[in-house]
Amino acid sequence: MKPGDVVLVRFPQADLQGGKLRPALVLAVAPARLNEVKKRLIRWLKSG
């Protein structure tokens, strides 16, 4: 991921069940936390 990338983010519904993938624009990623962000994103994508 880098600034300017368009990514898909799952936004939950009001009841927090399911949700839809929506496009989002990456504005910035803190370099020190990049690996942590990637790991969380991968876990989250696998869970949905």
Cα(45)–Cα(1) distance, rounded to whole angstroms? 15
Q: Where are the domains of the chain?
A: 6-47
Residues 6 or more apart whose Cβ sits within 8 Å of residue 20: 10, 11, 13
Tell me, what's the pLDDT at 16? 67
Cα(7)–Cα(29) distance, rounded to whole angstroms? 13
Q: pLDDT tens digit string along 3-48?
A: 899 988 888 777 767 778 899 998 987 777 777 878 888 888 888 6
The pTM assigned to this predicted structure is 0.49
Tell me, what's the pLDDT at 24? 92
